[in-house]
């Protein structure tokens, strides 16, 4: 059987992660990377794969089985999603939670005409965490959901730090509070405030001569981002930032704490967690598994916009159903 | 929309758990319990539901949307599975791992003729643990799987204890070894022997005047069951056994410890765990969610034998796709 020909639209951290993930999946191959940058401004790690200006993507409709959109949710995907859905099966990681229903509709409209299969909002949250929330809520209808994020880098909060006067550079880690996680794990079904769930830890490189006490106060009092949290601020050098904080770790926990039995008397705890050295690489690996599913669903004429809730798990695997039953059931 | 009419075949611990689970799911109702016992020998917790001799099940083909088979895997299900698949949509928890492919074939053959939808081997292992193994292996093709069971009661090992000369009653708990779980969680990808993964803890009620040292030695040296493990034996009274050991807790951990990136340099850990006060009640709740899916798949003419790998997650939920997207994605 011929390999699944994958296109990558956008060659940032996630796009490079997808390229690496394709090498781990022998039934897939990278056909081309589509980018706004000049084709000769960078090189791929995949011999034979093309770099193509993204405006020429339509010429590749017959050469790509599925396009993985690796652009950002703020400005890239709202345009690219519907546009590429009119030409390709697509998978993306659109993650602006509040706008997902609207985005789904737009992609679905385009895919209905093109008869393509487009799985949106794939990754780990939205993505795997959503799947676990849905699955565990269906199993334990009487119960509570808890999600904790971290320890990991929040891009939005890091950007907020860097906008503070006197800050040259900085990074923010979201950290789940052990005591809160433990109280959920033990089935005590706590009501947790924002402050009780997560800490925020900031590493800041100040400009020369800047007022550090002022910077620290400005960060800690910033509404929405920090004022509702226990926040710590550490001042470090630019070298330390580069040396100790250039990875992109992340992760988190999803819990369903439910009750069963005639008098709802028995506690049942479902826990799912991720501990990721590299957030973009892990997201990329999830995207490639769902790209396989998109192609298979399209071959079965199961078209339109889809989410992680619509995909039978076996479609994510290159292994035959009989082997899955024998080895993993 | 009318409720999903569920039949329960077999009214043991799991069957009673299904009855309780139905009450937690407003879109389902218990139509009848089918049993080999005399219909007047016990009563249900559900007003209006019938108790019917299992030999009369065929008369209820039009009154039951899905039959949940709650018999044992050793002798009940190998017969009942194919037989009921010829009349009903079914869901069962067949868990004799080595015989699942053969059982699947037999159920599939019957369901192909009846055009029913039959989801086999549903529960938590096989079941949820299988889903996580499959999903996480598809996402992280380079990596290792680890499964730990417990702390929980093993029925097979408890039975083995009770067959030892001089033993009046007893129970066995399988306990994952913390150090092993921790080494997996930390990404060190250990190679673990049987003895390094689980402990076996036995609580034994000896017959009067029995040789306790002999019983302890007989248990600890029992091949297959105990000799490959660190086993502890505690002698307790019948009253203590009843008071402290009559619940059926269980649970466990599934890990995928994988690598991503161009040089497979980043660790990525996926962990799923269950901590269950009642193993049969939890299994029952999983069965009811998959019963909903079986009915929906059958309405869409998606018939034959199925496993947990074949079911889109949204089919497990009574909530509409749009609401799932809004609330859980």
| A273 chain-B contacts, CB cut-off 8 A | 269-272
Q: Nearest-CA residue of chain B relative to A19?
A: B262
Is residue A1's pLDDT more than 80?
no
Q: Nearest-CA residue of chain A relative to B326?
A: A101
Residues (pLDDT < 50) of chain B are none
| A324 chain-B contacts, CB cut-off 8 A | 134, 307, 309
Residue carrying the six token digits 């899905």: B66
- Cβ-contact A60, A72 below 8 angstroms: no
| pLDDT tens by residue, A214-228 | 999 999 999 989 999
Give the model's pLDDT for residue B263.
Answer: 85
Superfamily of domain B129-278: Dihydrodipicolinate Reductase; domain 2 (3.30.360.10)
Average pLDDT over residues A170-186: 97
B267 and A277 within 8 Å at the Cβ level: the answer is yes
Q: Nearest-CA residue of chain B relative to A46?
A: B262
Q: Nearest-CA residue of chain B relative to A138?
A: B317
| B134 chain-A contacts, CB cut-off 8 A | 313-314, 316-317, 324, 328
Distance (Å, whole) CA A111 – CA A90:
9
The kind and range of the H/E element at B225 are none
Distance (Å, whole) CA A185 – CA A267:
11
∠B179-B183-B186 over CA atoms, to 5°?
135
The size of the A-B interface in CB pairs under 8 A is 229
Which is nearest to B7 in space by CA: B39, B42, B54? B54
A37-51, A114-128, B123-137, B146-160: the lowest-pLDDT one? A37-51
Is domain A4-125+280-328 in CATH 3.40.50.720, yes or no?
Answer: yes
| pLDDT tens by residue, A282-328 | 999 999 999 999 999 999 999 999 999 999 999 999 999 999 999 99
Distance (Å, whole) CA A139 – CA B289:
6
Distance (Å, whole) CA A69 – CA A91:
6
Give the model's pLDDT for residue A95.
Answer: 93
- Over its C-alpha atoms, chain B yields an Rg (Å, rounded) of 22
SS (H, E, C) chain A: CCCEEEEEECCCHHHHHHHHHHHHCCCEEEEEEEECCCCCCCCCCCCCCEEEEHHHHHHHCCCCCEEEECCCCCCHHHHHHHHHHCCCCEEECCCCHHHHHHHHHHHHHHHHHHCCEEECCCCECCEHHHHHHHHHHHHCCCEEEEEEECCEECHHHHHHHHCCCCEEEEEEEEEECHHHHHHHHCCCCCCCCHHHHEEEEEEEEECCCCCHHHHHHHHHCCCCCCCCCEEEEEECCHHHHHHHCCCCCEEEEEEEEEEECCCCCEEEEEEEEEEECCHHHHHHHHHHHHHHHHHHHHHCCCCEEECHHHCCHHHHCCCCHHHHHHHHC
| pLDDT tens by residue, B74-108 | 999 999 999 999 999 999 999 999 999 999 999 99
Give the model's pLDDT for residue A39.
Answer: 79
| pLDDT tens by residue, A227-282 | 999 999 999 999 999 999 998 999 999 999 999 998 888 999 999 999 999 999 99
CB-nearest to B286 from A139, A264, A307 is A139
Which residues of B define the annotated binding site for substrate? 149, 174, 200, 250, 279
The whole-chain average pLDDT of chain A stands at 96
Q: Domain residues of chain A, as ranges?
A: 4-125+280-328, 129-278
CB-nearest to B281 from A266, A292, A308 is A266
CA distances from A194 to A7, A147, A273, B312 (A): 40, 12, 20, 33
Give the model's pLDDT for residue A178.
Answer: 97
Give the model's pLDDT for residue A82.
Answer: 98
CB-nearest to A261 from B130, B140, B278 is B278
Say what the alpha-carbon torsion angle A19, A20, A24, A28 is, to the nearest 10 degrees.
0
Neighbours of B43 (CB within 10 A): 8
Neighbours of B191 (CB within 10 A): 6
| B133 chain-A contacts, CB cut-off 8 A | 328
| A313 chain-B contacts, CB cut-off 8 A | 131, 134-135, 138, 308-309, 311
Distance (Å, whole) CA B85 – CA B67:
9
User: Which band of pLDDT confidence, cut at 50, 70 and 90, is reported for residue A4?
Assistant: very high
Is ipTM strictly over 0.90?
yes
Give the model's pLDDT for residue A19.
Answer: 98
């Amino acid at each position: 059987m011929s390999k699944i020909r994958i296109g990558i639209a956008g060659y940032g951290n996630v796009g490079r992660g997808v390229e690496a993930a394709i090498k781990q999946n022998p039934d897939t191959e990278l056909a081309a990377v589509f980018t706004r940058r000049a084709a000769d401004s960078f090189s791929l790690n995949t011999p034979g794969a093309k770099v193509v200006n993204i405006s020429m993507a339509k010429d590749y409709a017959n050469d790509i089985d599925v396009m993985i959109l690796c652009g950002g949710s703020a400005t890239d995907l709202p345009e690219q999603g519907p546009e590429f859905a009119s030409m390709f099966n697509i998978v993306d990681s659109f993650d602006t939670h509040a706008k997902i229903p609207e985005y789904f509709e737009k992609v679905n409209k385009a895919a209905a005409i093109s008869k393509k299969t487009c799985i949106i909002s794939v990754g780990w949250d939205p993505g795997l965490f959503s799947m676990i929330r849905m699955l565990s809520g269906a199993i334990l209808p009487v119960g509570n959901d808890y999600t904790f994020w971290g320890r990991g880098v929040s891009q939005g909060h890091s950007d907020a730090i860097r906008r503070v006067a006197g800050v040259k550079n900085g990074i923010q880690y979201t950290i789940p509070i052990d005591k809160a996680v433990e109280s959920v794990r033990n089935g005590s079904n706590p009501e947790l405030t924002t402050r009780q769930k997560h800490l925020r830890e900031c590493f800041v490189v100040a400009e020369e001569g800047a007022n550090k006490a002022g910077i620290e106060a400005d960060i800690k009092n910033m509404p929405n981002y920090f004022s509702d949290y226990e926040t710590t601020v550490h001042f470090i050098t630019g070298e330390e930032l580069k040396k100790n904080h250039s990875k992109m770790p992340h992760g988190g926990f999803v819990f369903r704490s439910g009750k069963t039995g005639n008098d709802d008397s028995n506690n049942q705890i479902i826990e799912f967690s991720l501990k990721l050295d590299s957030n973009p690489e892990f997201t990329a690996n999830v995207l490639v598994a769902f790209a396989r599913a998109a192609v298979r669903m399209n071959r079965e004429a199961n078209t339109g916009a889809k989410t992680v809730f619509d995909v039978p798990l076996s479609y994510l695997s290159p292994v035959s159903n009989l082997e899955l039953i024998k080895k993993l059931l």
